[in-house]
Amino acid sequence: MANISLQHLDKIYDNKVQAVFDFNLEVKDGEFIVLVGPSGCGKSTTLRMVAGLEDISAGRLLLDGKDITTAPAKDRDMAMVFQNYALYGHMTVYENMAFSLTLRKEDPNVIHKKVLAAAEILGLTDQLNKKPKQLSGGQRQRVAMGRAIVRNPKVFLFDEPLSNLDAKLRGATRREILLLHKRMHATMLYVTHDQTEALTLADRIVCMSMGRVQQVGTPLELYDTPANLFVASFIGLPPMNFFNVNIANGKAVNQYFSVALTEKERELLAGYEGKEVTLGVRPEDVDEGGDISVCVYSNENLGMNTLVHGRLNNAHAADAAITCKLRGWCDYKAGDTVKVQFVKRHFFDRETTNAIR
């Protein structure tokens, strides 16, 4: 069992920088939580407060109902996997994985069993006698995970574990971490700035900006119903397009297009008649057909899709830029006009930046 309760956590560093504001989260046993957000938003600080590597300035932290707010890191029964692996270069893979248990003076037979079992899970059985420098980046990352696994901790903490790997290896290691989670049913907290990692790994995502939680939810919830402009622009790649529009007579209108609102959208926007709101449309929700005119300036074939970057009505203003992810292989040339439609729209309040729901 490992439930973690983060209650009103604040972190103020000695230099008076407040890195985390009122962080609240109930992590269920066995849950895979991903903290995601841009660099400097307070993700690592939050993780390090959970690990006991940073003092908690205010708030409470509970593990299975027990208050561990001020407990030393070594008493928290958590294992952390770092971005830079932090392996000992002079020790073999085996010794690296055994290290924490050796320190604890566990029975060598038990250590041997645990290291072999972890190596088996991670596919490192043939590498146990090698030194870290003889391994690939992906293998080193697995040794770092192995070192965490042998301790059989209640909670695994990952701080950007894949960011030193190349794109291909990142994908493969991501799948290994997922399998590991399934196999071990462990509670995991994982920090990344990469929205793809968040969407593919998490049971629930915590999206942060400037020290504050913006939204907590399943990957689908954050993708489908982002709570505000920040989450809408951070989750999804390429990012959502945004346009200022006026709501009038059942339409969302600006100088570039006029979109007829559905019945549901009219209800949603009832309070905004005559007002300006932000309309968001994901590139993948722009389809060919319809009457919105896009002047193409680049056509990128991705295989299954084509990314078309263009300008609404051939206008040069910054707010006329649009990215469309069109189905199939398109061969537009710069200067071509494509007629498109927005098949799914999101609306945001201009003042609060919150989604209009």
Identify which of residues 43 and 204 has a Cβ nearer to ligand ADP in the complex. 43
Task: Kindly state the tokens that stand for 120.
Answer: 């088996």
Task: Kindly state the tokens that stand for 69.
Answer: 């707010």
Identify which of residues 118 and 216 has a Cβ nearer to ligand ADP in the complex. 216
Q: Is 65 left (phi over 0), alpha (psi -120 to 50) or beta?
A: left
**Residue 32, strand partner residues:** 188
Percentage helix, strand, coil for the chain under 3-state DSSP, each rounded to 5 = 30, 35, 35
Q: Is 228 left (phi over 0), alpha (psi -120 to 50) or beta?
A: beta
Mapping DSSP to helix (H, G, I), strand (E, B) and coil, where does residue 195 land? Answer: helix
16 interacts with ligand ADP by CB under 6 A:
no
The interface with ligand ADP within residues 25-64 (CB under 6 A) comprises 37, 39-45
Identify which of residues 41 and 294 has a Cβ nearer to ligand ADP in the complex. 41
Min dist. Cβ of residue 140 to ligand ADP (A): 22
Which stretches within 218-316 are classed as H helix?
A: 219-224, 229-234, 263-268
| Cβ contacts of 10 within 8 Å, gap of 6 or more | 18, 20, 21, 22, 23, 56, 57, 58, 59
Q: What is the x/- site pattern for ligand ADP, positions 139-168, by CB under 6 A?
A: ------------------------------
Identify which of residues 159 and 265 has a Cβ nearer to ligand ADP in the complex. 159
Q: What is the x/- site pattern for ligand ADP, positions 287-326, by CB under 6 A?
A: ----------------------------------------
Min dist. Cβ of residue 326 to ligand ADP (A): 34
15 interacts with ligand ADP by CB under 6 A:
yes
Identify which of residues 43 and 154 has a Cβ nearer to ligand ADP in the complex. 43
Q: Where does this chain bind ligand ADP (CB under 6 A)?
A: 13, 15, 17, 19, 37, 39-45
